[in-house]
Copies of this chain bind each other. A is one copy, B any other.
Amino acid sequence: MPDRIPQSPSEKTVERLSLYRYLLYGILAEGERNIFSHALAAMAAVSSAQVRQDMMVLGYSGSPNQGYEVGKLIASITEFLDDGHGRNIALVGIGNLGRAILSNFSGQRSRLQIVAAFDVNWQIVNRLIHGCWCFPMEKLHGVMKEQDITLGIVTVPPAAAQVVADQLCEGGVRGILNFAPVRLRVPEDVYVSNLNITVALEKVAYFAHHGMVRVESPSREEAKV
Protein backbone atom coordinates (compact mmCIF):
# COMPACT_ATOMS: atom_id res chain seq x y z
CA MET A 1 0.00 0.00 0.00
CA PRO A 2 1.54 3.25 -1.12
CA ASP A 3 1.07 5.17 2.11
CA ARG A 4 0.80 8.93 2.02
CA ILE A 5 4.24 10.35 2.64
CA PRO A 6 4.20 12.79 5.57
CA GLN A 7 5.81 15.54 3.51
CA SER A 8 6.54 18.12 6.15
CA PRO A 9 5.94 21.60 4.75
CA SER A 10 8.80 23.87 3.79
CA GLU A 11 9.80 26.84 5.91
CA LYS A 12 8.50 29.13 3.24
CA THR A 13 5.11 27.48 3.25
CA VAL A 14 4.83 27.88 7.00
CA GLU A 15 5.81 31.53 6.73
CA ARG A 16 3.16 32.12 4.13
CA LEU A 17 0.48 30.33 6.11
CA SER A 18 1.28 32.56 9.05
CA LEU A 19 0.97 35.59 6.81
CA TYR A 20 -2.29 34.36 5.29
CA ARG A 21 -3.78 33.95 8.72
CA TYR A 22 -2.79 37.45 9.68
CA LEU A 23 -4.34 38.82 6.50
CA LEU A 24 -7.47 36.72 6.96
CA TYR A 25 -8.11 38.24 10.36
CA GLY A 26 -8.11 41.60 8.62
CA ILE A 27 -10.59 40.32 6.05
CA LEU A 28 -12.80 38.96 8.76
CA ALA A 29 -12.75 42.27 10.62
CA GLU A 30 -14.02 43.93 7.47
CA GLY A 31 -17.01 41.62 7.51
CA GLU A 32 -16.08 39.47 4.51
CA ARG A 33 -17.15 35.86 4.88
CA ASN A 34 -15.42 34.37 1.88
CA ILE A 35 -12.32 34.98 -0.17
CA PHE A 36 -10.84 33.66 -3.41
CA SER A 37 -7.31 32.48 -3.81
CA HIS A 38 -6.40 35.30 -6.14
CA ALA A 39 -7.59 37.97 -3.71
CA LEU A 40 -5.58 36.49 -0.86
CA ALA A 41 -2.67 36.09 -3.23
CA ALA A 42 -2.73 39.77 -4.11
CA MET A 43 -2.62 40.76 -0.46
CA ALA A 44 0.23 38.42 0.28
CA ALA A 45 2.10 39.33 -2.88
CA VAL A 46 2.25 35.80 -4.21
CA SER A 47 0.56 33.97 -7.08
CA SER A 48 -2.87 32.42 -6.69
CA ALA A 49 -1.41 29.06 -7.61
CA GLN A 50 0.94 29.47 -4.70
CA VAL A 51 -1.95 30.11 -2.35
CA ARG A 52 -3.83 27.04 -3.50
CA GLN A 53 -0.71 24.94 -3.30
CA ASP A 54 -0.10 26.12 0.26
CA MET A 55 -3.66 25.25 1.21
CA MET A 56 -3.02 21.65 0.25
CA VAL A 57 -1.15 21.00 3.46
CA LEU A 58 -4.23 21.96 5.46
CA GLY A 59 -7.12 19.55 5.58
CA TYR A 60 -9.48 22.29 4.49
CA SER A 61 -10.90 22.67 1.00
CA GLY A 62 -12.59 25.74 -0.40
CA SER A 63 -15.61 25.63 -2.61
CA PRO A 64 -15.04 26.26 -6.31
CA ASN A 65 -17.81 28.74 -6.26
CA GLN A 66 -17.53 30.59 -2.98
CA GLY A 67 -13.80 30.33 -2.55
CA TYR A 68 -12.60 29.84 1.01
CA GLU A 69 -14.68 30.50 4.08
CA VAL A 70 -12.55 32.96 5.98
CA GLY A 71 -13.44 31.70 9.44
CA LYS A 72 -12.91 28.06 8.54
CA LEU A 73 -9.66 28.85 6.82
CA ILE A 74 -8.31 30.69 9.84
CA ALA A 75 -9.33 27.75 11.99
CA SER A 76 -7.59 25.30 9.67
CA ILE A 77 -4.38 27.29 9.59
CA THR A 78 -4.45 27.64 13.33
CA GLU A 79 -5.00 23.95 13.83
CA PHE A 80 -2.16 23.24 11.45
CA LEU A 81 0.30 25.76 12.85
CA ASP A 82 -0.28 25.31 16.52
CA ASP A 83 -2.67 22.46 17.10
CA GLY A 84 -4.74 24.77 19.22
CA HIS A 85 -1.83 24.95 21.67
CA GLY A 86 -0.61 28.25 22.97
CA ARG A 87 3.14 28.56 23.47
CA ASN A 88 4.94 30.39 26.21
CA ILE A 89 8.01 32.38 25.30
CA ALA A 90 10.98 33.76 27.21
CA LEU A 91 12.76 36.84 25.91
CA VAL A 92 16.38 37.28 26.92
CA GLY A 93 18.08 40.65 26.63
CA ILE A 94 15.87 43.55 27.60
CA GLY A 95 17.71 46.19 25.62
CA ASN A 96 16.38 48.42 22.90
CA LEU A 97 15.29 45.65 20.61
CA GLY A 98 14.05 43.40 23.38
CA ARG A 99 11.80 46.10 24.73
CA ALA A 100 10.37 46.80 21.30
CA ILE A 101 9.47 43.17 20.90
CA LEU A 102 7.96 43.03 24.36
CA SER A 103 5.71 45.90 23.44
CA ASN A 104 4.25 43.86 20.62
CA PHE A 105 4.00 40.36 21.99
CA SER A 106 3.61 40.75 25.68
CA GLY A 107 0.12 42.10 26.20
CA GLN A 108 -1.20 40.09 23.28
CA ARG A 109 -3.98 37.58 23.75
CA SER A 110 -2.43 35.49 20.99
CA ARG A 111 -1.38 31.87 21.02
CA LEU A 112 2.22 33.02 21.17
CA GLN A 113 2.89 34.92 24.32
CA ILE A 114 6.01 36.28 25.95
CA VAL A 115 5.45 35.38 29.56
CA ALA A 116 8.82 36.34 31.03
CA ALA A 117 11.86 38.44 30.18
CA PHE A 118 15.41 38.12 31.45
CA ASP A 119 18.54 40.24 31.66
CA VAL A 120 21.85 40.34 33.49
CA ASN A 121 21.52 44.01 34.24
CA TRP A 122 20.19 44.41 37.77
CA GLN A 123 18.96 47.90 37.06
CA ILE A 124 16.49 46.55 34.56
CA VAL A 125 15.07 43.50 36.27
CA ASN A 126 12.48 42.87 38.97
CA ARG A 127 9.83 45.03 37.43
CA LEU A 128 7.20 45.10 34.75
CA ILE A 129 8.13 46.29 31.24
CA HIS A 130 5.35 46.56 28.69
CA GLY A 131 3.31 44.31 30.89
CA CYS A 132 5.95 41.60 31.13
CA TRP A 133 7.78 40.74 34.32
CA CYS A 134 11.55 40.95 34.09
CA PHE A 135 13.72 38.48 35.96
CA PRO A 136 17.46 38.29 36.59
CA MET A 137 19.18 35.54 34.61
CA GLU A 138 19.57 33.46 37.76
CA LYS A 139 15.86 32.79 37.69
CA LEU A 140 15.81 31.58 34.08
CA HIS A 141 15.73 27.87 34.70
CA GLY A 142 13.19 28.01 37.46
CA VAL A 143 10.79 30.31 35.66
CA MET A 144 11.02 28.25 32.47
CA LYS A 145 9.88 25.17 34.34
CA GLU A 146 7.15 26.96 36.26
CA GLN A 147 5.70 28.65 33.23
CA ASP A 148 6.18 25.82 30.78
CA ILE A 149 8.27 27.95 28.45
CA THR A 150 9.26 26.20 25.24
CA LEU A 151 10.43 29.04 23.01
CA GLY A 152 13.09 31.70 23.40
CA ILE A 153 13.89 35.04 21.82
CA VAL A 154 17.50 36.16 21.95
CA THR A 155 18.14 39.90 21.89
CA VAL A 156 21.47 40.16 23.66
CA PRO A 157 24.75 41.46 22.20
CA PRO A 158 26.51 39.01 19.87
CA ALA A 159 29.16 38.14 22.43
CA ALA A 160 26.54 36.92 24.89
CA ALA A 161 24.29 35.10 22.45
CA GLN A 162 25.87 31.65 22.65
CA VAL A 163 25.88 31.60 26.45
CA VAL A 164 22.25 32.63 26.51
CA ALA A 165 21.35 30.01 23.93
CA ASP A 166 23.05 27.35 26.04
CA GLN A 167 21.05 28.41 29.06
CA LEU A 168 17.80 28.38 27.14
CA CYS A 169 18.51 24.92 25.76
CA GLU A 170 19.34 23.65 29.21
CA GLY A 171 16.05 25.07 30.37
CA GLY A 172 14.32 22.88 27.82
CA VAL A 173 13.58 25.28 25.02
CA ARG A 174 12.49 23.74 21.70
CA GLY A 175 13.03 26.72 19.43
CA ILE A 176 14.88 30.03 19.39
CA LEU A 177 14.38 33.21 17.43
CA ASN A 178 17.79 34.84 17.36
CA PHE A 179 18.44 38.50 16.56
CA ALA A 180 22.15 38.45 17.34
CA PRO A 181 24.39 38.17 14.26
CA VAL A 182 25.89 34.90 15.45
CA ARG A 183 25.38 31.28 14.42
CA LEU A 184 24.15 29.53 17.55
CA ARG A 185 25.24 26.00 18.31
CA VAL A 186 22.38 24.08 19.81
CA PRO A 187 21.36 20.43 20.27
CA GLU A 188 19.98 18.69 17.21
CA ASP A 189 16.38 18.91 18.29
CA VAL A 190 16.30 22.63 18.94
CA TYR A 191 15.14 24.74 16.02
CA VAL A 192 16.84 28.10 15.47
CA SER A 193 15.84 30.89 13.16
CA ASN A 194 17.98 33.97 12.68
CA LEU A 195 16.66 37.42 11.89
CA ASN A 196 19.47 39.71 10.89
CA ILE A 197 18.30 43.26 10.48
CA THR A 198 21.63 44.52 9.23
CA VAL A 199 21.70 41.96 6.45
CA ALA A 200 18.14 42.87 5.49
CA LEU A 201 19.10 46.50 5.27
CA GLU A 202 22.16 45.82 3.16
CA LYS A 203 20.09 43.72 0.81
CA VAL A 204 17.70 46.61 0.33
CA ALA A 205 20.61 48.96 -0.26
CA TYR A 206 22.02 46.64 -2.88
CA PHE A 207 18.88 46.06 -4.91
CA ALA A 208 17.70 49.63 -4.52
CA HIS A 209 20.80 50.87 -6.27
CA HIS A 210 21.73 48.03 -8.57
CA GLY A 211 18.27 47.15 -9.73
CA MET A 212 16.84 43.67 -9.97
CA VAL A 213 15.75 41.32 -12.64
CA ARG A 214 12.18 42.50 -12.26
CA VAL A 215 9.36 40.05 -12.49
CA GLU A 216 8.89 40.37 -16.23
CA SER A 217 5.16 39.77 -16.43
CA PRO A 218 2.95 41.27 -13.74
CA SER A 219 0.96 38.15 -14.51
CA ARG A 220 -2.43 39.60 -15.34
CA GLU A 221 -4.05 38.31 -12.22
CA GLU A 222 -1.86 40.35 -9.88
CA ALA A 223 -2.10 43.37 -12.09
CA LYS A 224 -5.83 43.67 -12.01
CA VAL A 225 -6.04 44.09 -8.27
Contact = CB atoms under 8 A, between A and B. Distances in A.
25 contacts: A14-B203, A15-B199, A18-B199, A19-B181, A42-B183, A44-B183, A83-B209, A85-B209, A95-B103, A96-B104, A111-B205, A151-B205, A151-B208, A173-B208, A174-B208, A175-B204, A175-B207, A175-B208, A176-B204, A177-B200, A177-B204, A188-B214, A193-B200, A193-B203, A193-B204
Contacts of A14: 202-203, 206-207
Interface of A: 8, 11, 14-15, 18-19, 22, 42-45, 81-83, 85, 87, 89, 95-97, 99-101, 103-105, 111-112, 150-151, 153, 173-177, 181, 183, 188-193, 195-214
Given A44-B183, A183-B45, A208-B151, A203 B18 contact: yes
Contact of A183 (B8, B43, B100): B43
Contacts of A153: 201
Contact of A101 (B19, B87, B197, B208): B197
Copies of this chain assembled into the complex: 2
Contact of A197 (B189, B195, B198): B195
Nearest to A97: B100
A87 B15 contact: no
A204 B151 contact: yes
